[in-house]
Amino acid sequence: MEPVKHTPICNLHERLGARMTEFGGYEMPLSYAGILEEHRAVRAAAGLFDLSHMGEFELNGPHALALLERALTNSAARMADGQAQYTIMCAPDGGTIDDLIVYRRAPERYLLCVNASNIAADWAWLTSLNRVGAELIDRSDETALVAIQGPRAVAILARLTAHPVAAIGRFRTGRGMVAGVECLMARTGYTGEDGFELFCAAGDAERLFAAALEAGTGDGIVPCGLGARDTLRMEAGLPLYGHELDRATSPLQAGLKSFIRFGRDFIGEPALAAQRDGAAGKRLVGIRTTDGRSIARQGYTIHHGGRAVGVITSGTFAPSFARPLAMAYLDSAAELPAGATVEVAIRTRMVAAEVVALPFYRRPAGA
């Protein structure tokens, strides 16, 4: 068994009073003041996250794009310098190996940000596909990632850098000094709010994290853990690998069709095309328990007409709605639209619930 790793900000988390937990092979903050408080801070003001457990691969050279086009469902050929792109890496049967973000740093130079639990699997898969001779480098251990998320994120970051961060568009990047630390600033996130993810050298991460906390004090920024990150992403209908995505689930089943560009001969394309043109087998939906109290958690089964028709993938108390919400897969054959009534088997009882469309939460226009 591999020993648990620590991010470069681990000591600061402990000084800030974080409750720690193991996730993706790393000891990570679960919460500080509490999940509810941290969640609400991100929705109303700003939250600061340590995401240094994520993996980073550098891909360079004249053959880099060919590898990406073969390995990923989205087309990196459409990207310009400084652009980021959400995409999925599939197995030949269409199952999901990982979902990730690709950043085009310059011509023939890319950065891939992958899930912490999949670093080894992703590396092995990309290496096996790299018959074109692209330069592939694992930068995970030497790279840290800090995210500022929420309506006040731009204002806070602007105090720390001379770079015109407000001019960086969604899924675009800039590079510059932030609090004296060289950073790649990406206007991306996993909370449903505006914000930035800052890549920097591991040795600079604690200084960057502390400076961002100090700069955002007057705006209500708080340090946030994995608990709030999970409730925020679930309200926004964003999939989490190991819950909504895995090797037995395709991006089409997860409702990610817009991130698939067919006609490029990528790995898994024939299987995904068959699902697109036929029956996908299951589809991702939202679930809301009728009593407003019962939490439908991962693995609980969904029933309709006396038979099981689906399973919960994620479920929790949603602070923005002051009630439990869940994400689930329903059998396509069940043909249950939004508004349909179902039951969830919660421990020893059947609890009435409703199928609802995803996402539960959308950031207000202009926010």
* Whether residues 26 and 104 fall in one domain: no
Q: Which domain holds residue 99?
A: 55-138
Q: Look at residue 244 in the predicted model and tell me its pLDDT.
A: 98
Closest C-alpha among 96, 353, 45 to residue 228: 45
Length of the chain: 367
pLDDT tens for residues 200-215?
Answer: 999 999 999 999 999 9
Closest C-alpha among 52, 47, 56, 94 to residue 73: 94
* Position 262 in a domain: no
Question: How many domains does the structure of the chain reveal?
Answer: 3
* Whether residues 43 and 70 fall in one domain: no
* Whether residues 226 and 145 fall in one domain: yes
Would you say residue 278 has pLDDT above 90?
Answer: no
pLDDT tens for residues 153-169?
Answer: 999 999 999 999 999 99
Beta carbons of 356 and 284 less than 8 angstroms apart: no
* Whether residues 46 and 176 fall in one domain: yes
Beta carbons of 254 and 284 less than 8 angstroms apart: yes
C-alpha to C-alpha distance for 314 and 284, rounded to whole angstroms: 11
Beta carbons of 217 and 175 less than 8 angstroms apart: no
* Whether residues 19 and 83 fall in one domain: no
Beta carbons of 326 and 302 less than 8 angstroms apart: no
* Position 203 in a domain: yes
C-alpha to C-alpha distance for 355 and 341, rounded to whole angstroms: 7
The torsion angle over the Cα atoms of residues 74, 78, 82 and 84, rounded to 10 degrees, is -20
pLDDT tens for residues 27-42?
Answer: 999 999 999 999 999 9
Cβ burial, residue 297 (10 Å; 0-12/13-18/19+): middle
* Position 252 in a domain: no
Q: Look at residue 367 in the predicted model and tell me its pLDDT.
A: 65
CATH number of the domain within which 210 lies: 3.30.1360.120
* Whether residues 149 and 231 fall in one domain: yes
Question: pTM to 2 decimals?
Answer: 0.96
CATH number of the domain within which 75 lies: 3.30.70.1400
* Whether residues 42 and 187 fall in one domain: yes
